[in-house]
Amino acid sequence: MNNPAITVIIPVYNAQEGLKQCLDSLLNQTFRDFEIILLNDGSTDDSLLVLQTYASAHNFIRVIDKKNEGVAKTRNKGIHLAKGEYIVFIDNDDFVDSDYLERFYNAIHQEQLDIVLGGYKRVNQDLKTLFKQDLTQ
């Protein structure tokens, strides 16, 4: 695989419960030119096993197992390992819409931007939106 357009960096710490939803949302992206770096930050649950299962099924997913150093150092390690032209950070308990990466990629290219910040929404267990923050311009 040539260098991807986007590297998605996900620090993981004791997140086995939400990881599948997070990773499945990335696997369903309309934009396909990306890699995922999953950094297990010393989890004591079965997070590493979940990560390894996804990585064994998808060659664009890399798993790094490391001692616990906190989210900032973990993200920085991901930056150093990234092969993509752009970097997207996602938390291990987040999940994204299927056009998430495509919208960011198109925005940065169409507007010739240096950085793109997105909004977010909080949802409950039934996926009902509790709060929504849109960032425009």
Supply the CATH number for residue 26's domain.
Answer: 3.90.550.10
What's the pLDDT at 87? 95
Contact call for residues 82 and 9 (beta carbons, < 8 A): yes
Tell me, yes or no, whether 86 lies in a domain.
yes
Q: Is residue 56 part of a domain?
A: yes
Q: Which residue has the tokens 């096993």?
A: 49
User: What 3-state class would DSSP assign to 91?
Assistant: coil
Asked whether residue 1 is domain-assigned, the answer is: no
The pLDDT value recorded for residue 111 is 85
The pLDDT of 29-33, averaged and rounded, is: 97
77 in a structural domain: yes
In DSSP terms, which residues pair with 12 in a beta bridge? 40
Query: What is the reported pTM?
Result: 0.90
How many structural domains is the chain composed of? 1
Q: 38-89: per-residue pLDDT in tens? A: 999 999 999 999 999 999 999 999 999 999 999 999 999 999 999 999 999 9
Please report the beta strands in the chain, taking only residues with DSSP state E, as ranges in sequence order: 6-12, 34-41, 61-66, 86-89, 120-123, 129-133
Domain span including residue 105? 6-133
